[in-house]
């Protein structure tokens, strides 16, 4: 698959870049692999520090409040009983680790499948390698306007980290800057447009 290369002013440079079919045009993209990879990514973001106190952990007297029978209500023991307001919680959440293992081949297939879906939906734009001389939000806003990605969630993929590009984009709503080596299935799918630089395409072709 070939795509035209644009400059930061949004003009066609006349150059073409070739996307590796083994990465951007997988014969049988796997939605299930994508699901598993995204699920793992989101699970890894969870802190898992949730905790509620159970009956034995609530501070309060252990004296039995009322007689066992004949009171006309439900049986209950001390003030820490779960049936009373302020009592402990039954089977409440406890700290836990939500992460799980996923095979490297499954993750690789998920990334390739996600890139294939992007290519099929014409959501990939290729630009010449660029950098900003100074870090200004206005620079990125103009860049987005020229490439017609203003107002949409966009992911810009660079070959290496460029501080001025990152700083120029960090206050722009919906804009994300990443390097090709950091790219994952979730980030590939979590946008409407992917902007790839020529150098980053060379890295992604090796995925």
Domains and CATH numbers, the chain: 2-47+101-204 (3.40.1370.10), 52-92 (no CATH)
State residue 105's pLDDT score: 96
State residue 76's pLDDT score: 87
Rounded to two decimals, the pTM is 0.84
Residues forming beta bridges with residue 154, ordered by sequence position? 175, 193
Return the residue matching tokens 């949409």. Answer: 152
State residue 73's pLDDT score: 85
State residue 128's pLDDT score: 95
State residue 71's pLDDT score: 87
Three-class DSSP category at 151: coil
Three-class DSSP category at 11: coil
pLDDT tens, residue by residue, 87-131 = 999 999 999 999 999 999 999 999 999 999 999 999 999 999 999
Distance (Å, whole) CA 204 – CA 207 = 5
| CB atoms inside a 10 Å sphere around CB 165 | 20
State residue 161's pLDDT score: 93
Q: Which helix (H) or strand (E) holds 176?
A: strand 175-179
Angle at CA 150, nearest 5°, toward 149 and 152? 75
Does residue 19 carry a pLDDT above 90?
Answer: yes
pLDDT tens, residue by residue, 132-179 = 999 999 999 999 999 999 989 999 999 999 999 999 999 999 999 999
């Amino acid at each position: 698959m070939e795509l035209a290369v644009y400059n930061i002013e949004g003009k066609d440079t006349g150059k073409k870049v070739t996307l590796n079919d083994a990465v951007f045009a997988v014969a049988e993209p796997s939605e299930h692999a994508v699901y598993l990879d995204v699920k793992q990514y989101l699970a890894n973001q969870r802190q898992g520090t949730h905790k509620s106190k159970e009956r034995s952990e609530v501070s309060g007297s252990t004296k039995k409040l009322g007689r066992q029978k004949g009171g006309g209500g439900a049986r209950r023991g001390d003030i820490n009983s779960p049936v009373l307001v302020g009592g402990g919680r039954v089977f409440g959440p406890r700290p836990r680790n939500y992460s799980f293992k996923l095979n490297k081949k499954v993750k690789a297939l998920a990334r390739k499948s996600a890139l294939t879906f992007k290519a099929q939906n014409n959501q990939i734009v290729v630009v010449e390698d660029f950098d900003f001389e100074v870090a200004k939000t206005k620079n990125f806003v103009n860049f987005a306007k020229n490439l017609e990605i203003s107002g949409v969630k966009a992911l810009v993929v660079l070959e290496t980290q460029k501080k001025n590009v990152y700083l120029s984009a960090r206050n722009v709503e919906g804009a994300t800057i990443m390097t090709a080596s950091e790219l994952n299935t979730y980030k590939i799918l979590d946008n409407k447009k992917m902007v790839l630089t020529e150098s980053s395409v060379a890295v992604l072709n090796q995925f």
